[in-house]
């Protein structure tokens, strides 16, 4: 009797073991995967992914077209597959038109630099910067600002460049020449001045209206700066350092932090003044002269011409009507970090410009996005 029971138990164990083996051989790891796969795709997944990785596919409900195009590429990392897909859909590297080479490049790029980016900003970064620019920035950093943060959305109209944020080599994609206006670029050897397309008409309207200042065309002013590239900013910053020394950041910005790079900022200059630097120095002299006058009534104060004063006053009182603000106004030096610059205008649109003008704010003091909401 005992022998029969033992044989029965052995047979049961053998039966269960056989059933388990057969079931295991036919177990479908992809049975719970919520998306349809062809037989060829199933074989590809099973040959490249471990059970743990397949469980990740199932739990995260990753769609086939988000990972299958990259699955057979060397160093493919399933944890990065959404990044690969987002990068591939946003920008293809320019050095090759071979699809496989493109995917290999993207896998390598994401694997290397994922920790330097947030997933939510990946699309914006690749919409505004090339892979080469991002690679150079991530590898070398910013030469002027330690631990600088690259601005993911440099095309925002109300962007204020503060702290350690940088535009690096960003260039707007809708720049238009304004060489039909009186101009004399402050950039050495530059023959062309450009600004964003939407700023052209308001700027022309402002200059046409400025005739009322002195009955001269364009208020007897010319445009000396619009969009300034990162490379040209380096030249101008080096020149400014020679003029202003340790005070250079009161007048200029580090390359990559200049609002002229946005394409929304322009600088005018009254005819008869030789350079933008002279404008800044003269403005500074006016402030210094006022301070000196308080302590020494006998010292003669050097004033600007009446015409120049009228142009400054007119821009202060009227620029907002055309969508512009005086970017660095008087009595806001502590807020903007810049000395008074009466001819530096920033385009923000008529509604925002009027509110800033009426309420006495500068961009640094408000979140314009809240106003628009």
Tokens 């399933």, located at residue: 78
- Could you state, in order of their start, the residue ranges of all structural domains in the chain? 35-140, 175-372
Residue range 175-372, CATH number: 3.30.1380.10
Q: How high is the pLDDT of residue 5?
A: 64
Cβ atoms 164, 143 nearer than 8 A: no
Q: Binning pLDDT at 50, 70 and 90, where does residue 8 land?
A: low
Q: Identify whether the C-beta of residue 104 lies closer than 8 Å to the C-beta of residue 96.
A: no
3-state helix, strand, coil in the chain (%, to 5): 55, 10, 35
Say what percent of the chain tops pLDDT 90. Answer: 73
Count, residues in the chain? 373
Pairing of strands 175-177, 194-196: antiparallel
Judge whether residue 165 has pLDDT over 90: yes
pLDDT tens for each residue of 54-70: 999 999 999 999 999 99
> What mean pLDDT value characterizes the chain?
87
159 — pLDDT class (breaks 50, 70, 90): very high
In tens, the pLDDT along 72-121 reads 999 999 999 999 999 999 999 888 779 999 999 999 999 999 999 999 99
The answer to whether 260 and 233 are in contact (CB under 8 A) is yes
Helix, strand, or coil (residue 266)? strand
Contact 82, 119 (CB under 8 A): yes
Q: Which residue has the tokens 């500068």?
A: 362
The whole-number pLDDT of residue 306 equals: 60
Residue 267: per-residue pLDDT: 96
| Confidence label for 278 from pLDDT (cuts 50, 70 and 90) | low
Each residue's pLDDT tens digit, 253-266: 999 999 999 999 99
Task: Assess whether pLDDT exceeds 90 at residue 148.
Answer: yes
**Which residues contact residue 55 at a Cβ distance below 8 angstroms, ignoring those fewer than 6 apart?**
none
Please name which of 327, 332, 305 lies closest in space to residue 315, comparing C-alpha atoms.
327
Residue spans of beta strands (DSSP E) within the chain: 149-150, 165-166, 175-177, 194-196, 221-225, 265-270, 324-328, 341-347
Confidence of residue 14 (pLDDT cuts 50, 70, 90): low
pLDDT in tens, 329-358: 999 999 999 999 999 999 999 999 999 999
């Amino acid at each position: 009797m005992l022998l029969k029971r033992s044989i029965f138990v052995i047979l049961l164990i053998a039966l269960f073991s056989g059933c388990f083996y057969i079931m295991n051989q036919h177990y479908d790891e992809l049975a719970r995967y919520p998306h349809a796969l062809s037989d060829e795709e199933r074989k590809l997944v099973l040959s490249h992914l471990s059970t743990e990785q397949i469980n990740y596919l199932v739990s995260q409900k990753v769609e086939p077209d988000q990972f299958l195009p990259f699955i057979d590429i060397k160093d493919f990392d399933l944890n990065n597959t959404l990044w690969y897909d987002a990068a591939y859909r946003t920008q293809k590297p320019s050095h090759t038109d071979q699809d496989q080479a493109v995917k290999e490049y993207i896998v390598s790029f994401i694997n290397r630099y994922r920790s330097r980016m947030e997933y939510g900003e990946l699309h914006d970064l690749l919409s505004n910067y090339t892979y080469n620019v991002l690679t150079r920035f991530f590898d070398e950093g910013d030469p002027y600002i330690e631990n600088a943060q690259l601005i993911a959305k440099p095309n925002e109209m109300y962007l204020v460049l503060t702290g350690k944020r940088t535009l690096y080599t960003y260039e707007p994609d809708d720049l238009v020449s304004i060489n039909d206006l009186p101009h004399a670029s402050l950039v050495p050897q530059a023959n062309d001045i450009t600004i964003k397309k939407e700023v052209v008409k308001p700027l022309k309207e402002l200059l046409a209206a400025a005739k009322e200042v002195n009955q001269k065309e364009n208020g007897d002013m010319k445009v000396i700066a619009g969009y300034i590239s990162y490379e040209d900013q380096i030249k101008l910053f080096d020149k400014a350092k020679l003029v202003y020394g340790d005070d250079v950041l009161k007048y200029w910005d580090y390359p990559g932090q200049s609002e002229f790079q946005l394409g929304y900022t322009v600088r005018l200059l009254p005819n008869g003044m030789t350079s933008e630097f002279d404008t800044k120095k003269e403005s500074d002299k006016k402030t210094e002269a006022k301070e000196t006058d308080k302590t020494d009534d006998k010292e003669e104060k050097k004033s600007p011409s009446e015409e120049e004063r009228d142009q400054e006053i007119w821009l202060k009182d009227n620029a907002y009507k055309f969508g512009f603000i005086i970017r660095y106004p008087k009595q806001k030096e502590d807020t903007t970090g810049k000395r008074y610059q009466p001819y530096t205008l920033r385009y923000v649109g008529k509604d925002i410009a009027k509110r800033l003008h009426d309420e006495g704010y500068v961009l640094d003091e408000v979140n314009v996005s809240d106003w628009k909401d």
